[in-house]
Structure 1
Amino acid sequence: MASVAKIPVIDISDDTQDQAQVAKELVEAAIEHGFIYIKNTGKDIPVEDVDKAFELARKLFKETPIEEKQACTIQKNNRGWSAMHYETLDPKNQRVGDLKEAFNFGEPSPTSPSILQQPLPPSILGDQPFITHFQSLCYRLSLRLNTLLGIGLGVSPPDFFTSAHLRENGASGTILRLLYYPPASSLSDAATEEDVRAGAHSDYGSMTLLFRLKGQAGLEIQTREGEWVPVPVCPEGTESDPAPPVLVNIGDLLSYWTGGLLRSTVHRVVFPGSGGSNGVEGETAEGERYSMAYFCHPVGTTRLEPVPSERVRKYTEEQQKQGKEVINGEKKMLTADEHLHMRLAASYLKLYEDEKKKWEDLKA
């Protein structure tokens, strides 16, 4: 395995910076890597809120009776509890389903912002105000990033991406997901360390905000050469920051929307190396692992028409001249909801079995 992933670290917390330059750096990282570290100085996402969210995850996965979680099993609205092996992110190559548990929280009620629109285990019913508060923090950060991407791509109007993600413009597939990966020592005979914690995949939406804990290894990205490299929780230069940087990655929808210019990079979570080491100093995959992902999606009715950007237009024209397939070049114009459900049907095989042909036809 090569050295660790060389992903840029960008600080967007200083309002005195040249925003055009910050936007340029963000776009270049999104094109080249598809992943960007955003320094977490505590301004956008307070450290104490990140800590509290991880404590909530521990209560949900370790203290909540399984019967309570089963009563909230994930539905086709992509909200609820996903048990071990329930999700299969790489069905062509996985022997068993993902070795993880997850709980998806959808957007809060538009009329009661501190109330979630889904069943919850009794153990966390009282945590709804905090959950919706944390969602709002992630939402505001994702809007800032969408604004910067619009500036960096020279989109006209500049708020093209931002307005497409505004809650007041309609419901979306945006999800806050808490994740728990049990330690290798707890695996049953049906699963081994040769299996993956989360299969190789790219994310579905516009972008993902990923929060991780220091010392917990496992995330890898696939380079353009097809090699798997680890992604440190704290890249060089951030070890003394108040919290690990937020890892942002471009999703399939935004890549599709920009004609493939912005890169949606394949990644996975594994039990790496001998003894659980992934080659990153201070990190190990031997114990349990937690993470939190905020999957940002546009309003569901948004039509994924080619982005009004000269840079995007020139990129797609160049692809056509080279005889390459042009993403988002179909005659059928997808909405954000159609794009999302197509991907969900591929990951939750049992849940979407009855709709499989419908989404395959849409994709074709």
Structure 2
Amino acid sequence: MTGAATLPIIDISAEDADQAQIAKELVDAAIDYGFVYIKSRDISAEQIDGAFNVSRTLFDSPLEDKQRCKIEKNNQGWTGMHTETLDPKTQRVGDFKEGFNFGPFTNGKAIQPIPQNIEPHQAELAAFRDACHQLCRKLLLLFGIGLGANPPEFFSAAHDPDLPSGSILRFLYYPPPSRTPEAHPDDVRAGAHSDYGSITLLFRLRGQAGLEILEPRTGRWAPVPVDPPSTSKDDEDAAAPPPILVNIGDLLSYWTNGLLRSTVHRVAFPSEPEALAAGESTADPRYSVVYFCHPAGDTLLTPVPSQRVQAAGQNESETARIQGLGNNKKILTADEHLQMRLQATYLQMYGKGGGKE
């Protein structure tokens, strides 16, 4: 494979690990790339496999059952082909994918409409969603430590799981190119975008290519292998799920005046064979499981109290500028920022002028 993104791999659950060193490595990766692979024992292989199995069941549901659960303005529910337009400035049509967004569960039960065939899996989904949020809070604490935030819990405390937030567990399904013959050469499966929240956890399946990041240093699109090339290929690693890919979202970038990168990424259609990792293909259906972690909805997006962030200067991130979050603008809440991004994404729901305010 040529031209693949080279991202750090950090084991955050290693025995006798130095938390301060892990925190430093995470911050350095977030500054340089905005993406990092992590190895973690916080979410089991069984939980990850279970989530993908439920995802397959969900997307195999009858169309009318999925349509009954269509997405609402609370960002929960099913999205069909072309419902989302993640890059409305350049996309000819919406994304070539289906998605399903899960909001909070109460006592192991969904509080939103869900397809009938996944109702037996509600407790499993609730536990997986909770595990994702707790892993995010662990990472956010490490980011606070690495940045010298005062207090170190600045980020993690803002993500109290008992408070209402925009956090979403999302299942995604991308049909194989053979089922999207109407796609043009310049179309993409998911448009170029940065993520709307604080941090994102991405779970992928081996063999399924497609994710690309816009490299901050080179400005080129680079594929991100499911398994980083430097991962050892012993029996234990082969049996374990691929490492989790973590990326910085808009809010963590904004909170740090752009010190941490909210890197633009997309999911592309078939690439040249030499651009793919060994054993990976874009010819088959692609599934991914994503957890978008958001702070409590009423959290004010004020800069983190950190000398390192202050020393980095007052240059807000490119994402912040695009979204109108510069220092001379009104300080928004997390929910206000999320609504701005959703209005730009769901043109059918909000109208084509919905995201321009």
Question: What TM-score, normalized by structure 1, do the two folds share?
Answer: 0.91
User: What displacement does 1:77 show?
Assistant: 0.4
Name the SS for the 1:220 alignment partner.
strand
Q: 1:181 to 1:193 in 2, by over 3 A?
A: farther
> Would you say the 8 A contact 1:272–1:278 is kept in 2?
no
Q: 1:127 to 1:266 in 2, by over 3 A?
A: same
CA distance in 1, matches of 2:97, 2:149: 39
1:80 aligns with 2:74: no
* Counterpart position of 1:249: 247
CA distance in 2, matches of 1:153, 1:360: 34
* CA offsets 1:210-256 (integer angstroms, 9 cap, x no match): 00000100000001222001000000233442110000000011111
CA distance in 2, matches of 1:265, 1:21: 23
* Counterpart position of 1:353: 351
1:91 aligns with 2:93: no
Name the SS for the 1:167 alignment partner.
coil
> Would you say the 8 A contact 2:102–2:169 is kept in 1?
yes
> Would you say the 8 A contact 1:259–1:327 is kept in 2?
no
Range that drifts further, 327-336 or 83-92: 327-336
* Counterpart position of 1:14: 14
CA distance in 2, matches of 1:299, 1:117: 18
User: What displacement does 1:355 show?
Assistant: 7.8
CA distance in 1, matches of 2:124, 2:5: 33
CA distance in 2, matches of 1:75, 1:282: 38
Question: What TM-score, normalized by structure 2, do the two folds share?
Answer: 0.92
* Counterpart position of 1:344: 342
CA distance in 1, matches of 2:297, 2:72: 17
Give runs of aligned pairs for residues 146-161 of structure 1, distance below 5 A. 146-161=140-155
* Counterpart position of 1:175: 168
CA distance in 2, matches of 1:222, 1:161: 26
1:116 aligns with 2:110: yes
CA distance in 1, matches of 2:71, 2:276: 35
* CA offsets 1:274-327 (integer angstroms, 9 cap, x no match): 46x63311111011100011000000000111110111111124x49xxxx796
> Would you say the 8 A contact 2:2–2:275 is kept in 1?
no
Name the SS for the 1:138 alignment partner.
helix
* Counterpart position of 2:328: 330
1:145 aligns with 2:139: yes
Q: 1:191 aligns with which of 173, 183, 191?
A: 183
Q: 1:293 to 1:34 in 2, by over 3 A?
A: same
CA distance in 2, matches of 1:360, 1:195: 23
> Would you say the 8 A contact 1:278–1:285 is kept in 2?
no
User: What displacement does 1:273 show?
Assistant: 2.1
* Counterpart position of 1:36: 36
Q: Which runs of 5+ in 2 are unaligned?
A: none
User: What displacement does 1:354 show?
Assistant: 8.6
* CA offsets 1:248-275 (integer angstroms, 9 cap, x no match): 0000111111111110000010113246
CA distance in 1, matches of 2:43, 2:116: 27
Name the SS for the 1:350 alignment partner.
helix
Q: Which amino acid aligns with 1:296?
A: C
Count of aligned pairs between the two proteins: 346
* Counterpart position of 1:24: 24
Range that drifts further, 73-82 or 92-101: 92-101
* Counterpart position of 2:4: 4
Q: Which amino acid aligns with 1:231?
A: V
> Would you say the 8 A contact 1:34–1:263 is kept in 2?
yes
Q: Percent sequence identity over matched residues? A: 55
CA distance in 2, matches of 1:327, 1:311: 21
